[in-house]
Amino acid sequence: MAHRIVIAGGGTGGHLYPGIALAKSLMKHNKDIEITFVGTEQGIESEILPREGFKLKTILSGGLVGKRGLNRWISWCKLPVGISQSLCFLIRHKPDLVVGVGGYASGPLVLSAWALRIPILIHEQNAIPGVTNRWLGKVADKIAVSFKQSKRFFPHKKVEETGNMIREEFCAPGPEKNTGAPERFNVLIFGGSQGAHSINMAVKDALALLAPLKDSLFFIHQAGKQDVGKVKQYYAAQGFSADVRPFFHDMADQYRKASLIICRAGATTLAEVTASGKVSILVPFPHAAHQHQEKNARILEAENAAEMILDHQLTGENLAQAIRQGLENPERLKKMEQNSFRLGNRNATEKVSRLCLQLLEESGR
C-alpha cells in the first residue's frame, strides 16, 4: 500500500518550492509515495503545482502577522473555517504524514493533523522563526531548521539542523564561470515570485548611471506582473539588452547564466544562491515578520558571500555602484563566489526527506 504524505503551505515561492523539492526527493526514494499539497486559491501554488504535476487541495486561510483592523478580523474568521476544511480533508484522505513548510495553509492543516494524531514534521526556513511555527513546534514530532540560530526556539529533542530545501537543479558541482552572452556581465534581478517594486524603481535610476557600460551588461529581470511593462520600457529607453518577464519558470537556468544576482533575502532564495555559488546584492523585504530577511542577509554578508543594501537605503546610485564593482573587480567576485558556494547546503532536501521516512517507519504507518 502506498504511503500518503500531505505537504501544507505555500502562498509564495519561498514557501512552496522547498515543498516541491521535498516531494520530488521522497518520490525518488519510493515511487509508490502519494503526495498531495494543501494551500490556498490565492497563493502561487494554484498556478505552479499543476505545472509540476502535483495534486492541490485548497482551504480558506489568511495571515495574522502584520494585519490590522478589518483585515485582521477577516483572517481570524477564516481560521475556524480552514481548520474545519483541514479536518474533513485529513479524515477522508487518511495521510500517513503531514509536513508543514510555512505559509497560510500550514497552521490550520498541521493543527488538524495533531488533533487526529497524524505524525507531523515542520520545516523552519528563517533564522528567526515566526509565531506560527513556534507554536506548531510544540505539537510537531520533528522540526527541521535551516539555520542553527533558530534551534533555540524549539524543543531540543525534536529539532535538527538540515538547511533549507532546494530543488536538485540548483545544486551546482562547483562555482561556475559565466555561461551567458559572450563577454557580457549578466545581472539577474528578481524580488520573489511577485516582483519587488522598490528594486524595479532603483534599477530604473541605475540604468542612466550605467549607460557607458551598456555594451558589457545584460540584464535578466523578473519584474512581477504589475511592473513588467514599465521595466521593459526602462531598458529600451536606455538602450540596454535585457530579458524582462513577469515570472521565470526556469529559474535554475537563469541562475546559471548570472554573474551577479540582485534579490530579496528570503531563506529559500539564499539557499538557492549559495547552492549555486553565486554572488548577490541582497535587499531584504522591509516588512518581513521579525525582520527575518535582514537577519538572513547579515549571515551571508558576515561571510563575505554577499552585500546588503537595506530597502530604505536603496538608490539607483548605490545599485549602479554595486553592479559596476562586480563587473570591474573579477577577482573579488571570484572570492565571494567561493564563499557563497562554501555556505551552500546542497543535501538539505535529502536530510529532510530522510527525517520524513524515519517518522513513517517509527509510526508504523
What's the pLDDT at 179?
47
Tell me, what's the pLDDT at 175? 65
**Coil, strand, or helix at residue 37?**
strand
**Quick one: cell of 232?**
521593459
Q: Give the pLDDT confidence score for residue 178 in this predicted structure.
A: 47
pTM: 0.85
Alpha-carbon span 365 to 346, nearest angstrom: 29
For the segment(s) 4-166+346-363, the CATH number from 3.40.50.1860, 3.30.420.80, 3.40.50.2000, 3.40.50.261 is 3.40.50.2000
Nearest to 125 by CA among 229, 16, 36: 16
- Encode pLDDT of 286-341 as tens digits: 988 778 899 889 999 999 999 999 999 999 999 999 999 999 999 999 999 999 99
CATH 3.40.50.2000 domain locations along the chain:
4-166+346-363, 185-343
- Domain covering 185-343 in this structure, CATH number: 3.40.50.2000
Which residue ranges in the chain fall short of pLDDT 50? 64, 178-182
CA dihedral of residues 126, 272, 54, 86 (deg, nearest 10) = 0
Whole-Å CA distances, 195 to 112, 199, 220, 245, 318: 33, 8, 13, 10, 20
Given its phi and psi angles, is residue 364 left (phi above 0), alpha (psi -120 to 50 degrees) or beta? left
Q: Which amino acid is at 346?
A: R
C-alpha cell at 130: 515566526
255 Cβ contact partners less than 8 Å away, ≥ 6 residues apart: 170, 188, 261, 272, 273, 276, 278
CA atoms of 347 and 168, how far apart (whole Å): 9
Residue 26 half-sphere exposure toward CB, CA atoms < 13 A: 28
